[in-house]
Amino acid sequence: IAFNIQTVLDFVNISIMYLPLFFLIFISNYNTELREVGMMEIEYIQNKSKIINFLKEMFFILLFIGLASIINLMLYRVLYGWGFNIGITVNDYIINTFTCIFLYVSIVYFISSLTFNKSLTIFMISIFWIFFIVNVESRVIVNPFFYVGDPNSDVIYICAQLAISCLLLGITAFLKTKSPYYLQFIRRL
């Protein structure tokens, strides 16, 4: 066991802080793969239903987030028993972990759709992650680790982060319908 998990709160905090790193690699690779093999233009021309494909991608990403959270929860159960009796429920774990990962994934997906550059995406989101790991108690609404800093946080953080995630995914869906040369000045970075 790589982490010293002594309480349920430690488990929830570690899940919230480190599960998004897995999605950083997965999403940035997934979204920039076509550019790396030189197939963006062909995919754009042949793909008639771009929004449907985007929704399919999002469905599988959300499914993957849910599966990762459930597998992590089952791993905790196998190693430590249920133990969710210290004021933290399984629902708290699922809601806060999902919200954190969903915000993180939507930011990664947006940046990778905007730049089509895997290295730049990983760099920018790593800076975001490091900033909020260091400032975990920050009361900024986009802090994905708000629950770690204050387990008694308001529901407003969850609602605001879900709204921000949906907004970023809406902009990403718009970008997915555009030509690979749309916003070319940004993608040249």
Residues 60-71: tens digit of each pLDDT: 888 888 888 888
169, 110 in Cβ contact below 8 A?
A: yes
Compute the distance between CA of residue 69 and CA of residue 120 in angstroms, rounded to an integer: 27
Each residue's pLDDT tens digit, 111-169: 888 887 778 888 888 898 888 888 877 778 888 877 776 766 678 888 999 999 999 99
Q: Which residue is associated with the tokens 């969710």?
A: 84
Q: What confidence score (pLDDT) does residue 96 get?
A: 81
In this structure, which amino acid lies at residue 91?
Answer: N
- Mean pLDDT within 76-84: 66
Q: What's the predicted TM-score (pTM) here?
A: 0.78
How large is the angle between the packed helices 118-134 and 8-36, nearest 10 degrees?
160
Q: Backbone phi, then psi, for 106, in 5-degree steps?
A: -65, -35
